[in-house]
A and B are shown apart, each in its own frame.
Chain A
Amino acid sequence: MKPVRSLNLVLVLAVVLAAVLSLCVGEADIGLAALSGLFAADPSLDTLILRELRLPRLLLGLLVGAGLGGAGAVMQGFFRNPLADPGIVGISASAGLGAVAALYFSLASLFALALPLAGVAGAGAGVALLFLIAGRGASATTLILSGVAVNAMAGALTALLMNLAPNPWALAEIAYWLMGSLKDASWTEVGFAAPLVLTGLAILATAGRGIEALSLGEDTARSLGIDLGRLRLSVVAGTALAVGGGVAVAGAIGFVGLVVPHLLRPLVGYRPAALILPAMLGGALLVTLADLFVRLISGPGMPLYLGVVTALLGAPFFLWLVRSTQKVAP
């Protein structure tokens, strides 16, 4: 138990460091001194930039990352499969579909929470569909194929909405938004995402005992007193809230839920329950660092999208992971 606790401590420190770095880096050169005036009544320009631009962007990144990392860890534990990532099995795409539908039908203008809620609903539908096709304890092949089906379905419907988009601006807006980015983050987005993602994280955290017992199979888990129906419900609800809430405001940021749990798993002795919290912290760390990287390399005329960067890094990793899991388990 002790090594896990120190791992969490290290990750918390790393997140804090990355957060400070993220606040200081950007087009305007701002020292930490500006932080002191954060709650001042007449803030300086530097403080304003921090308060209205960088801080919400940082917080949104932390939320989105924690949601993806935590959801990845719990899904992998539940499916007993290291390839179960919210992006790969189509949850992010389903959340995106929900959000695009909300944009398309202008639900977002009806009431403010419509967009994130539509994202959550989409993600929930995606997970439910995945469970329906793949079933519990599906083989790696079945799971991935089911994910391909969910992805294809969500992609097709999203494409349909884009196809029918009323004007090119709406189309461009949807297309850019789907790439995934934190660049337009404001306190409004944080306000939308935070309650949903945090609720999702809390639900995911309760799945630990269940997914740990599932390591030895379904019958063993049930004999240990785990209610699999209830566990499935919390995996669906937790994933939908944690992933859907984030995707709805930041777009699809891929592979975080795959890479982070995989890298941290050996450090917690491969225990599914012990992995959940570190994966949340690691996800927050990775997204913050990736966003920092994106800001550093994109010039004023060439904004690079965060989702594009994580996908470029994550896809080869996924390929390698598929090959290595095939070698271990036939």
Chain B
Amino acid sequence: MSGLSFERVDFGYGDRLLLRRTWLDLSGGGLTALVGPNGAGKSTLLKLAGGLLNPTSGRVMLDGRSLSDLPDRERARAIGYLAPDGRSAWPMTVRNIVALGRAPWRKPLRDLGEADTAAIDRAMAQTGISDMAERRFNTLSSGERARTLIARTLAGQAPLMVLDEPTAALDVKHQLGVMAILQKAAASGTQVIVAVHALDMAARFADRVLVMKRGEMLADGPPDEALAEDVVRDVFGVRAPGGIAPTPLSVDGRD
């Protein structure tokens, strides 16, 4: 079980703090959804969790060690991070994109080993993209791209996965697909932290919901508490009588 915790973390540039006095314990496992309006500091929090930013003050700890003290490679093996803009500079095949996830495990100038190949195959099976292994990334639909990039993150087999809005550009069916993949990963022992916009998706799939606004954590708990009527009104300025209900939608088997 991976234990990531924020200990009174501030982050900002100059006087402007994007994240304020954040205490957070992310060691419980399961799927944690991070919600909040635009500019709430979700991406900043996730980058801090991924070790891509260092706190201005306070510490982000992983299993008792400060994240900023960990060697790059060791940190990369422990935490998988999915960036919000899902683009590839080159039209590589799906399989080669997924293989990038093995970078923290690879030795210089060596081909992929057996463990790498097995991890890649498994990640592609988990995300249902095994049959498009040889397709080029630029020919994929946005749903297929999202699944390929999640497979890339899964291939690293890190015990902790941090994903910044993997469902951003997706229609409802593909959102359901992606959330189901993440839920399965969480069920098999990976701790998943994912930023999402759709509150009903968070309510349906998450074990725990974090609610942020203007750099502060305003709620943290199971979906029915964290997405209660008053929280949603204060944070989003939206009325949700009775709180946010889990989305009743599921994917229709027929195509």
Contact = CB atoms under 8 A, between A and B. Distances in A.
Answer yes or no: do A and B interact. yes
A80 B91 CA distance: 12
B103 interface: yes
Interface residues of A, number: 26
Nearest to A222: B52
Interface residues of B, number: 38
Given A215-B92, A216-B88, A216-B97, A224 B76 contact: yes
Given A219-B81, A223-B80, A225-B76, A213 B111 contact: no
A227 interface: yes
A208 interface: yes
A286 interface: no
Interface string A120-161: 000000000000000000000000000000000000000000
B152 interface: yes
B72 interface: yes
A274 to B, nearest CB: 9
Interface stretch (A28-36, A91-99, A265-273): A265-273
Contacts of B106: 209
B83 A217 contact: yes
B156 A219 contact: no
B109 A1 contact: no
Interface string B86-98: 0111111100110
A219 B104 CA distance: 14
Nearest to A275: B90
Interface in B101-125: 101, 103-104, 106, 108-109, 111-112
A223 B111 CA distance: 21
Which of A214, A225, A265 has the most chain B CB atoms inside 10 A of its CB? Answer: A225
Nearest to A207: B108
Which of A212, A223, A226 has the most chain B CB atoms inside 10 A of its CB? Answer: A223
A206 interface: yes
B234 interface: no
A209 B103 contact: yes
Contact of B108 (A80, A81, A206, A219): A206
A225 B75 contact: yes
Given A215-B88, A216-B87, A219-B47, A225 B104 contact: yes
Contact of B92 (A208, A219, A270): A270
13 contacts: A213-B103, A216-B89, A216-B100, A222-B72, A223-B52, A223-B79, A224-B100, A224-B104, A224-B156, A225-B103, A226-B103, A270-B96, A271-B92
Interface of A: 1, 80-81, 205-206, 208-209, 212-217, 219-220, 222-227, 265, 269-272
